[in-house]
Each structure stands twice: as C-alpha cells, then as structure tokens.
Structure 1
C-alpha cells in the first residue's frame, strides 16, 4: 500500500479512499494502485483512511465519518506544514465507506474545509445509499431484516434504517439525503458524482440501493438484452440504457439423464457439508456479534467522552443549512419493517404488515402514529408514483427511501451498472479487494474509473 498512497509536495489534488464494513486499508489497495498507475505522485496525493479498520466499522456511520473527517483535516495540515498546498479534493467510498465518506463530507462542509479546495470527484463503489433491508416477501426476508439490523451494532441499525439519529427522529440514511442538511450541501459541491453498482451476485448490497433506483431491471437477465459500453470487455454497461427486453430464453437442458445424475451425485458431499457447517457458522456469527456489540458500545462511550483521540465537540455541528419546514419525525417510527412485499401494486400503493416490534400496521401506515404520520406517508407514496419506473415494477421500498432517491438524483449521478461474470462474490470483485482468481474483471471497472470518470 505504501507504494501507491501518499504523494509529493508538488501534488495539488488529494484523493481520499474509504473502505467498507469489516474492512481495512488493504482492501483499497487495487483502487490506489489503479489511481497511481494513471496519475503520478506529483499530480495526485492519495490518502487511504485508516481509523475505521476492522471491528471499528461496527461503531456507526456518524463515528466513522468523524474519524475520517479528522484524518482528512490532519493530512491537509501535514501537507501544508511540509510546504505543499492541496487545492483540489476527491473522495472515494467503497460499500459502507460510501456512507461514511458522505458523513465526513458534511462535516468538512460545516467546518469550512471545503471552502478552501475545489471539490472534484465523489465516487462510490457498491455503496448502499438506501440501506440494506430487503424489500421482498416472506418470513425469511423478515428474519433477515430483523436479525441483520441487530447483529452489526450501530452500523447495522443505521444500514437497516431502524435508528433515530440524534434529535431528528429520523434514520441517519434519511438525514444524509435531506436537501437541507450539511451532508447534501457538501456533496453537491463536487463537480462529478459517479457510482458503480453490481447487477448480480452482490450479496452485501444489491442493485437498487447501490444504483439509487426504485426498480431492479436485472432480476431476470435471461429475458433481457444487456448493453455494454464499447471497449469495456462486457463488464461496464451503458448508464442511460443498460438493459432492454428481447433476449431469447435460455436453451432447455438437454443433458442425458445419466450425466445429470452424475452431476447431482458430485454435489452430495457439498450439500452434506453445508448442513453441518451452516448451523455452526450461524452460531459463531451470533456469538461474535454479541462480543462485537459489547466492544463497540465501549468504544462509542469512550468516543462520546472525547477519550478516543477524536475531539467530538468540534464535530457535533449543526446538521441543517436552514430550518426544516415541518416536523415529520413521527412518520419514520414504523418504517423499519414496512417491506413485506416485493413490488408496489399498479396504483403505487403498498400494504405494510408489521413494524419493528411485530405489531400490526395497516395500509395507511397507522399504528398509533396519528393523522400527521398518515399524511406524510400518503404524500411520500404520491411522490414515489411520480417517479419514472422505466417499464419495470417498483420495489416496495420504505417512504424515506423513495424520498432519498428523489433528493440524491438531483445531483445528476453518472451511474454505471457492472456485470461481474467470473466470480459470485461481485461485491469484493468490483474493486479487486484482494488478488484472487476471478476478480480480474474488477480491474476493468477501476480502469474505466481512472481513465473515463476521474477529473483532475
């Protein structure tokens, strides 16, 4: 990593790389390497954020953003003290790091740091802008939405949208996308907003959230025709028209019966292994989650008391650029389990079956939330119907997610869908998180970014 990070005092452009959940700076090595291969040390200075490594990513987006903000300010000061001068800033986030980076940008804006630099690029690779809760039917998805939010400490609560950030009463994801917030004002200062989103096999962050979309046109690629950008090796798709109907259905399986029987026989040991290791893995995961929750809680307490190396009081700035027109906090109290169907019906309405605590919630969003909450939910559903679905059914997202889509899309993102074919762990492959066979298509993505998208 040392060979690619840093830079010379002649460089006037600082690019900050922020890794994701469970990550460490080495996860961004290929990103740094691709950037350095295109731009020499006297042109671009590279900072790979370090303070959120490993289990520290459990501590939440807010704490992570404060740590990254401090790192950026310290690096700017260190470069200045050595005689350099940074006049341009770019920020790159991978996975959860995209959200952490957005929080840090809001703090930099509020503290006046962005006034002294030209904001160039904000890039996100597979970042869950809308959270990670599953907008699908069935008990399995409900279990995932409930347990997943409670096994990743504060980061899990924020990613699943069941937190209430400070005194707003809203999920942090909603505050990050509020047009009146420092976070959106800071993000808007960047000249270019680019995202790369996997269309298949991203088990950590699916397309609708990484692509900031209320639809997923890639759910059945056997019935679709995919349009690639010429010259990008069947990996990067056209952003404006990535897919259309019309591909022929796949040919029927014509393998002879003995061959099929032999294939399934070879799978028997694997299936038996799964029946043994999956229960053990689940138990180990839950035990580790409990341990990490305790450790994270301890770190958060130290952080809040200013004993973790971050001057917390300096970063607890006013979140709002101007006063919010109406207090709507109570509208978000029952959203955490609102996705119990896969798509909205033709009229654009959703029927919510339950909230976080399992109590019944009727189709107008009530459950003791009152008329104000019902009016807000009705308004946000009306807004969601006004969005162009492009002929694809609308996913049953929560109202705050539809609102976030509308707000974020005003930044005019350059959205690039990515199809990783050679490996099923596309979330890691998209940035070549490690040197591994099958991840080489990620180099195509990184090369496209540094040569076609990165402004210097």
Structure 2
C-alpha cells in the first residue's frame, strides 16, 4: 500500500444484514474523500443470521475486526490517527458496545475518535410503547423470534450478573460505553419519521414524544438545502390550519380512524397467527439453537477470536441499581400509547413535551387521550409515550452525552428503513442520496 491514510472509517450493517447493504455509504465516502485520505472498513463477521447472536457477541466480533484491521494497516506502513464509526439499524447498537471495549483497552488514547453516527438505530429497543393485550402479545412473541438479539431488543434480558437489560447497561452513565461515546468529537443520528416498519421514530431519535405520528395535522419544516427530506430538528413541526368540519363529521372521522387503526391488528391475529405462526416459530427455534451453538463456541474462544481480552469491567464506578423484526408490519400499524395523568414524573427530565417555535416554553402536562394539542399559534404539545423506566433512563443518559438529531422524512417509498441509507440501487430510494449528502457535509475528516 503506497497511499498514506490516517483516518479509519468503520461501517456496521444491521439485523440480517451484510456488507453489501452499506455499498452506497461506502462509495459516497470514497467519492468525496478518495482512498488516499481514508480507509473504509465494512465489518463482515456479523453477517446474516450471525446477528441473532446478541449485541455483546456482535460487539466483541466488531472490536476484534477493528483491532485486526489497525494491525494490518500498521504493518503496511499506515499510521492511523483518527477513527469514525457509523452504524445502521442494529449495527448502531453493536457499534456502541464495540467502542466501549476499544475505549477500555486504551485505543482512544492513541487514536482520536472523530465521528459517531447511527442511521435508524433502535437505541431504546424495539418494544412497542403500548398497553393492553395486543401489544403485550406482540412484545412477547417478537422477543422470542430473534434469539439473544431479540431478547435484548425487547428489553427482557438480564445481562450477565447485573439483573438489567443490556441496553440499559449500554446507556449507563458510569459504563465504559457512555465514556467511549463521549470521546467522539461529533455524535449524530438519523431517524425516519414515517414508514420505518422496523425501527420507530421514538427509538431511532431517542425521543419520548412523537411529533410526527399524525403528520397530516402539522407542517413539517426542513433544513435549507435538504428540502423535503432532512427535517430541522430545532423547528421540526409547526401548527397547520385545521380543516373545519361539522361536529357530526368530526365524531364520525374520529370513530372511523379509530376503527381502521384496529383493523390491521385484528387481521394479523385472525389470519397470520393461525397460518404463519407455526412456520415462523419453527424457523425461530432452529435459528435460536444455531445461535446458541455459535455463542458457545465464541465464549470458548473456538470461533477465531480470543474473547478474554474483552471480558473487562463494564462499569467504571459503582453503578446505580436501576432496573428488521418478524412483526414489522403489525408493529408499525399498532400506534402508540402514552403516559396517564399523574405519571409525568416517570418521563426523562432532559426532554420537553411542548414544542415552541418562537421561544422555549416551560414543560407542561399532556393529555394521554390525545396525540397532539395546539397550545397557541406557535406552540404544539405532544404527550409522552408509555415507555418503560429503563427507556426513560436511557433517554436521559444519552441526551446528557449529546447527539445531533436529524429526523428524516422519506415519502417516495413505504420501506424507509432501507431507503435511509439507499440499501439498494433503485430509483425509489433516491431520497437516501439527500440523507447521505447531509451526513457527508457534516462529516469531519
């Protein structure tokens, strides 16, 4: 290698993914910076069903791959001085785990962390923020179809001897993972506001509210130069003149909408469960067995990676003792539930439920029976989602470390989870080009 590069950029794919899913991001990077300035590593050891094996196992594989790449580059005469990490979907969580391991081994004392970015990553897990039988059924079944990764994403795992979900530990203020994240000069995330059937906006955007759930009732505001795709997070939505309807039609509309919202859930349980559940659960069982076998070999160091170097203390100080899935279509149709009156103290203090566009307003209570209220000409209020205590804590700790958040409004395709990174080279995913351009315009070399 005759070229001299000093910046390693690591790309990490998502659930059931493979390195080819990140081709557009990789090519976009190299078109802007060329190979004489950066070296791009697209991780490959968690491809396909290997993503069933859990965030911990995936993070250890990724950390090993990064260290091996750095060693190879050093042997080829490349002096890497900077590192950036980009994670897509589940890959963002695997990346957050891996950078904690690399930080604990002293890598960031020798190499400067520059950019950390996630695209459509479920930072708060994929548990549906709803109450009631249907939602509980989805959360229970979904958690058991993706082996270890499923349990972690639905927050029903107990990681090691902590008695807490792994994602809770991953966001603990005293953990190596938050310490590592704080080392990066720039932290950003991109979250789809509609039609992401795998990762909802609230979890990708680390938000306890969803200003975009009833998009037809608000005006969306975009960043200059990235119109109609990249939303201005500081002024994401503003009031829209409502259509005045007779009271009788308003009641009819509300009831009709409520009925049709329930139709997908009813159809799912009447049609899909009897016909498809047996096949789905059989496949899930087979993959779970294979995953457990891979994890056992990984733990024993028989999978090509010595994991003993990564089994270090995950909490630096004494921790406070706090406690693309298979149902994507039904998940996106279920809607969301909110905190009830008197439960506001459960919410994260780092976020407000009132959105003001002239000046920041004081935090006010929300009506759990409504998705949105107009407070004044320039102020909207959105109720707090019915998240778990762990999820509210995650929001608080991740907000404290700081992310630049960019809501993404992709309209030309109904599978925005893939379009946000232009996972396939098809015209309907072209809005992903604008997302990539914004990302690269804010990428520090």
* TM surpasses 0.5: yes
Contact persistence 2:206–2:395 (CA under 8 A): yes
| Matching of residue 389 in structure 1 with residue 353 in structure 2 | yes
TM-score w.r.t. length of structure 2: 0.83
Give the secondary structure class of the aligned counterpart of 1:438: helix
Q: How does 1:98-117 map to 2 (within 5 A)?
A: 98-117=92-111
| Matching of residue 416 in structure 1 with residue 406 in structure 2 | yes
**CA shift in 2, pair 1:8/1:183, >3 Å:** farther
Counterpart of 1:60 in structure 2 is: 54
Counterpart of 2:421 in structure 1 is: 431
Give the secondary structure class of the aligned counterpart of 2:429: coil
Q: Distance between the aligned counterparts of 1:383 and 1:280, measured in 2?
A: 40
Structure 1 residue 47 displacement after superposition: 0.2
Q: Distance between the aligned counterparts of 1:219 and 1:404, measured in 2?
A: 22
Contact persistence 1:142–1:340 (CA under 8 A): no
Counterpart of 1:455 in structure 2 is: 444
Contact persistence 1:348–1:384 (CA under 8 A): no
Counterpart of 2:17 in structure 1 is: 23
Counterpart of 1:131 in structure 2 is: 125
Match of residue 179, structure 1, among 173, 176, 198: 173
Q: Distance between the aligned counterparts of 2:271 and 2:19, measured in 1?
A: 34
Match of residue 82, structure 2, among 67, 73, 88: 88
218-227 or 233-242, which deviates more? 233-242
Counterpart of 1:309 in structure 2 is: 304
Counterpart of 2:208 in structure 1 is: 214
238-247 or 123-132, which deviates more? 238-247
How many residues of Structure 1 are paired with residues of Structure 2 in the alignment? 388
Deviation digits for residues 175-196 of structure 1 (CA, Å, limit 9, x no counterpart): 0000100000001000000100
Contact persistence 1:8–1:42 (CA under 8 A): no
Structure 1 residue 276 displacement after superposition: 8.0
Computed over aligned residues only, the root mean square deviation of the Cα atoms, in angstroms, reads 2.4
Counterpart of 1:76 in structure 2 is: 70
Q: How does 1:231-242 map to 2 (within 5 A)?
A: 231-242=225-236
* Structure 1 runs (4+) greater than 6 angstroms displaced: 274-278
Counterpart of 1:348 in structure 2 is: 343
**CA shift in 2, pair 1:448/1:439, >3 Å:** same
Q: Distance between the aligned counterparts of 1:283 and 1:25, measured in 2?
A: 31
Q: Distance between the aligned counterparts of 2:69 and 2:47, measured in 1?
A: 18
**CA shift in 2, pair 1:322/1:8, >3 Å:** farther
Deviation digits for residues 6-59 of structure 1 (CA, Å, limit 9, x no counterpart): x96411110000000000000111110111111110111100000000000000
Structure 1 residue 247 displacement after superposition: 4.5
Q: Distance between the aligned counterparts of 1:198 and 1:78, measured in 2?
A: 37
**CA shift in 2, pair 1:394/1:9, >3 Å:** same
**CA shift in 2, pair 1:280/1:41, >3 Å:** farther
Contact persistence 2:171–2:177 (CA under 8 A): yes
Deviation digits for residues 304-340 of structure 1 (CA, Å, limit 9, x no counterpart): 111011111111011111122x4345xxxxxxxxx99
Counterpart of 1:296 in structure 2 is: 291
Q: Distance between the aligned counterparts of 2:400 and 2:134, measured in 1?
A: 35
Q: Distance between the aligned counterparts of 1:278 and 1:441, measured in 2?
A: 35
Match of residue 323, structure 1, among 318, 325, 339: 318
**CA shift in 2, pair 1:455/1:99, >3 Å:** same
Structure 1 residue 347 displacement after superposition: 2.6
Give the secondary structure class of the aligned counterpart of 2:235: coil
Give the secondary structure class of the aligned counterpart of 2:348: helix
Counterpart of 2:366 in structure 1 is: none
Counterpart of 2:160 in structure 1 is: 166
Give the secondary structure class of the aligned counterpart of 1:384: coil
Q: Distance between the aligned counterparts of 2:435 and 2:61, measured in 1?
A: 28
Q: Distance between the aligned counterparts of 2:224 and 2:293, measured in 1?
A: 51
Return 5+ residue gaps in structure 2 as ranges. 247-266, 324-333, 355-380
Deviation digits for residues 84-132 of structure 1 (CA, Å, limit 9, x no counterpart): 1100000000000000000000000001111111110000000000000
Q: Distance between the aligned counterparts of 1:186 and 1:386, measured in 2?
A: 21
Give the secondary structure class of the aligned counterpart of 2:191: strand
Q: Distance between the aligned counterparts of 2:321 and 2:91, measured in 1?
A: 30
| Matching of residue 35 in structure 1 with residue 32 in structure 2 | no
Give the secondary structure class of the aligned counterpart of 2:117: strand
Counterpart of 1:376 in structure 2 is: none
Deviation digits for residues 395-438 of structure 1 (CA, Å, limit 9, x no counterpart): 01001111111110112211000011011100011001112341
Match of residue 202, structure 1, among 196, 202, 209: 196
Give the secondary structure class of the aligned counterpart of 1:404: helix
TM-score w.r.t. length of structure 1: 0.81
